[in-house]
Amino acid sequence: MANKGWDEFEIGAMLRTFEGSIDNIAATRQEDRSYTENSSYTASVADWRINKPVFNKDYCIDCQFCWIYCPDVSIISRDKKLVGIDMDHCKGCGICVEVCPTNPKSLLMFPEQADEETEIAQWPKKDEEEA
Amino acid sequence: MAFDKMELRDIEVWDGNFAAAQALRQCQVDVVAAYPITPSTPIVEGYAKFKSDNYVEGEFVMVESEHAAMSGCIGAAAAGGRVATATSSQGLALMSETLYQASGMRLPIVLNLVNRALAAPLNVNGDHSDMYMVRDSGWIQFDAFSPQEAYDLNFIAFKVSEDHDIRLPAIVNQDGFMTSHTAQGVHTMDDDTAFNFVGTYNPMNDMLDFENPVTHGVQTEEDWHFEHKARQHNDLMTKVGPKIDETFEAFAKITGRKYNQVESYDMEDADVAVLCMGTSVETAREVALEMREKGIKAGVVGLRVLRPFPFMEVREALKDVKAVASLDRSSPNGAAGAIFNEVCTAMYAADNRPLMSGYIYGLGGRDLTKAHLVELYNELDSNVKAGKVTTQLQQFIGVRGPKLAYL
For chain B, the residues whose C-beta falls within 8 A of a C-beta of chain A are 104-107, 167, 205, 211-218, 220, 226-228, 230-232, 234-235
Task: Give the DSSP H/E element, type plus range, for residue B142.
Answer: strand B140-143
- Residue B49 and residue B296: Cα distance in Å, rounded? 50
Task: Tell me whether A1 touches chain B (CB under 8 Å).
Answer: no
> What is the number of domains present in chain B?
2
What pLDDT sits at residue A2? Answer: 66
pLDDT exceeds cutoff 70 at A130: no
CB spacing of A6 vs B231 below 8 angstroms: yes
Q: Do B231 and A4 touch (CB under 8 A)?
A: no
* Per-residue pLDDT band at B258 (split at 50, 70, 90): very high
Rounded to 10°, the helix B241-255/B147-162 angle is 130
Which residues of B fall within a CB distance of 8 Å from A34? none
Which ranges of B269-369 would DSSP assign to H, the alpha helix?
280-293, 311-317, 338-348
CB B283, CB B373: distance < 8 Å:
yes
**ipTM for the whole complex:** 0.84
Q: Is the domain of B288 the same as that of B234? A: no
B334 lies in the same domain as B304? yes
Which range marks the domain in which residue B121 is found? 11-203+218-255
Same domain for B295 and B182? no
DSSP state of B236: I
Domains of chain A: 1-43 (no CATH), 45-121 (3.30.70.20)
Claim to verify: residue B149 and residue B15 sit in the same structural domain = yes
**What whole-number distance in Å separates Cα of residue B128 and Cα of residue B25?**
26
Asked if the structure places residue B5 within a domain, the reply is no
* Min distance B96 CA to chain A CA atoms (Å): 18
Distance from CA of A123 to the nearest CA of B (A): 41
B228 chain-A contacts, CB cut-off 8 A: 6, 13
Q: pLDDT tens, B242-254? A: 999 999 999 999 9
How far CA B380 is from CA of B324, B332, B344, B387, in Å, comes to 7, 22, 16, 10
| Banded pLDDT at B178 (limits 50, 70, 90) | very high
Evaluate if residue B374 carries a pLDDT over 60. yes
Residues B247 and B342 occupy one common structural domain: no
CATH number at residue B323: 3.40.50.920
Nearest to B218 among A11, A14, A22 (CB): A14
Contacts of A11 in chain B (CB under 8 A): 106, 167, 231-232, 235
Instruction: Please state, in angstroms and rounded to a whole number, the distance separating the CA atoms of residues B309 and B300.
Output: 18
Residue B242's SS3 state is helix
Q: Does residue B186 surpass a pLDDT of 80?
A: yes
pLDDT band at B235 (very low <50, low <70, confident <90, very high): very high
> Which DSSP category does A128 fall into?
T
CATH number at residue B155: 3.40.50.970
Helix or strand holding residue B149 (H, E): helix B147-162
Same-domain check for residues B295 and B234: no
Q: Is residue B209 part of a domain?
A: no
Are B211 and A23 within 8 A, CB to CB? yes
Q: What whole-number distance in Å separates Cα of residue B342 and Cα of residue B324?
A: 13
Task: With beta carbons under 8 A apart, name residues in chain A contacting B216.
Answer: 12-14
Q: Which of A4, A14, A17 to mutate to test the interface with B (most CBs of B within 10 A)?
A: A14
Other Cβ atoms within 10 Å of A86 Cβ, number: 16
* Interface test mutation site (partner A, options B211, B219, B240, max chain A beta carbons within 10 A): B211
Burial class (CB in 10 A: 0-12, 13-18, 19+), A41: middle
Q: Is B347 within the bounds of a domain?
A: yes
Q: Which helix (H) or strand (E) holds B102?
A: helix B89-104
- Quick check: B231 and A15 CB within 8 A? no
Which DSSP letter does residue A18 get?
A: B
When pLDDT is averaged across residues B16-45 and rounded to a whole number, the result is 98
Strands B214-216 and A14-16: antiparallel
> For residue B162, which of B197, B113, B131 has the smallest C-alpha distance?
B197
Contacts of B211 in chain A (CB under 8 A): 21-23
Bridge partners for B396 per DSSP: B360
Whether B187 and B293 share a structural domain: no
Average pLDDT, chain A: 92
Q: Do B211 and A22 touch (CB under 8 A)?
A: yes
Of B313, B304, B248, the closest CA to residue B276 belongs to B304
Does the beta-carbon distance from A15 to B214 stay under 8 Å?
yes
Contact check, Cβ <8 Å, A10/B230? no
Confidence of residue A30 (pLDDT cuts 50, 70, 90): confident
Residue B398 dihedral angles phi and psi, to the nearest 5°:
85, 10
Give the residues across from B300 on adjacent strands: B265, B274
Residues A101 and A32: their CA atoms lie apart, in Å, by 31
**Is residue B59 in some structural domain?**
yes
Check residue B150 and give left, alpha or beta (phi > 0: left; psi -120 to 50: alpha): alpha
Is B271 found in the same domain as B326?
A: yes
The residue among B331, B321, B332, B304 whose CA lies nearest residue B355 is B321
Domain check: are B148 and B193 in the same one? Answer: yes
Residue B2 lies in a domain: no
SS3 B140: strand
Q: Is the pLDDT of residue B1 over 60?
A: no
Q: How confident is the model at residue A3 (pLDDT cuts 50, 70, 90)?
A: confident
Give the model's pLDDT for residue A42: 86
Last residue of a domain, one of B193, B227, B255: B255
* pLDDT computed for residue A40 by the predictor: 86
Residues B286 and B396 in one domain: yes
B287 and B192 fall within a common domain: no
Do B156 and B90 sit in the same domain of this protein? yes
Residue B6: inside a domain: no
Terminal Cα-to-Cα distance of chain A (whole angstroms): 56
Partner B contacted by A36 (CB < 8 A): no
Q: How far is B12 from chain A (nearest CA, A)?
A: 40
CB nearest A11 (choices: B167, B213, B218): B167
Who among B205, B230, B232 is closest to A14 (CB)? B205
Give the pairing of strands B214-216 and B184-187.
Answer: unpaired
Helix (H, G, I), strand (E, B) or coil at B325: strand
pTM of the model: 0.91
Contact criterion met (CB < 8 Å) for B218 and A15: yes
Which residues from chain B sit within 8 angstroms of residue A21, using beta carbons?
211-212
- Measured between CB atoms, which of A6, A9, A12 is closest to B167? A12
Average pLDDT, chain B: 97
Report the pLDDT value the prediction gives residue A131, as an integer from 0 to 100: 56
Select from B123, B189, B122, B119 the least CA-distant residue to B156. B189
The sign of the torsion formed by the CA atoms of B235, B236, B241, B243 equals positive
**What contacts B88, CB < 8 A, 6 or more positions away?**
B37, B38, B39, B40, B113, B114, B115, B116, B130, B176
Report DSSP state, residue A53: E
Angle at alpha carbon of residue B23, lines to B19 and B29, rounded to 5°: 140
What is the C-alpha to C-alpha distance for residues B395 and B392, in angstroms, rounded to an integer?
Answer: 7
Kindly state whether A11 is in contact with chain B, defined as any CB-CB distance less than 8 angstroms. Answer: yes
Would you tell me how many other CB atoms lie within 10 Å of the CB of residue B211?
10
Cβ distance A16 to B212 less than 8 Å, yes or no, reads: yes
Q: Using alpha carbons, select from B304, B330, B307, B300 the residue that is nearest to residue B232.
A: B307
Taking CB atoms and an 8 Å cutoff, what residues of chain B touch A38? 215
